[in-house]
Amino acid sequence: MKNRIDTFVNSEVGKLEAVILHTPGKEVENMNPHNVQKALYSDILNLSVAQSEYAELKEVLQKVSRVFEVKDLFIDAISNSKVKERLINKICQNEQRGELYEELMQMDSRQLATSLLEGVPSKKNTLTEFMNKDLYALRPLHNFFFTRDASITIHEKVLIGDMMSTVRKRESLIMETIFDFSSQLKSTTINPENYPPKHPNVIIEGGDILVAREDILLIGIGGRTNTVGVDFILEKMMESDSNYHIVVQELPKEPESFIHLDMVFTLLDVDKCMVYEPLILKPNRYQTIHIEVKDGKVKKIEEVRNIPTILAKLGMELQPIMCGGSKDQRIQEREQWHSGANFFAFAPGQVLGYARNVYTLEEMNKYGFDIIHAQDFLNGKAEIKDGQKYVLAISGSELSRGGGGCRCMTMPVKRKLV
Q: What is the pLDDT of residue 147?
A: 97
Tell me the β-bridge partners of 289.
Answer: 248, 303
Tell me the β-bridge partners of 229.
Answer: none
Q: What is the pLDDT of residue 197?
A: 67
Q: What is the pLDDT of residue 32?
A: 58
Count of the separate structural domains present in the chain: 1
33 pLDDT above the threshold of 90: no
In contact, 266 and 279? CB cutoff 8 Å = no
108 pLDDT above the threshold of 60: yes
Confidence of residue 125 (pLDDT cuts 50, 70, 90): confident
Question: Whole-angstrom Cα distance, residue 346 to residue 287?
Answer: 30
Percent of the chain surpassing pLDDT 90: 83
Over residues 170-223, the pLDDT tens digits come to 999 999 999 999 999 999 999 999 887 666 789 999 999 999 999 999 999 999
Query: 236-260 in b/e burial notation, b at 16+ Cβ within 10 A?
Result: bbbeeeeebbbbbbbbbeeeebbbb
Percent of the chain surpassing pLDDT 70: 95
Four-CA torsion 390, 245, 21, 167, nearest 10 degrees: -130
Question: Whole-angstrom Cα distance, residue 249 to residue 218?
Answer: 8
Question: Whole-angstrom Cα distance, residue 334 to residue 332?
Answer: 6
Question: Whole-angstrom Cα distance, residue 262 to residue 16?
Answer: 18
In contact, 217 and 211? CB cutoff 8 Å = yes
Closest to 338 in 3D by CA, of 396, 282, 390: 396
Question: Whole-angstrom Cα distance, residue 414 to residue 84?
Answer: 26
For the chain, what's the residue count? 418
Containing structural domain, residue 9 = 5-415
335 pLDDT above the threshold of 50: yes
Q: State the CATH number of the domain containing residue 125.
A: 3.75.10.10
SS3 helix, strand, coil % of the chain, rounded to 5?
35, 25, 40
Over residues 340-373, the pLDDT tens digits come to 999 999 999 999 999 999 999 999 999 999 999 9
283 preceded by a cis bond (ω within 30 of 0): no
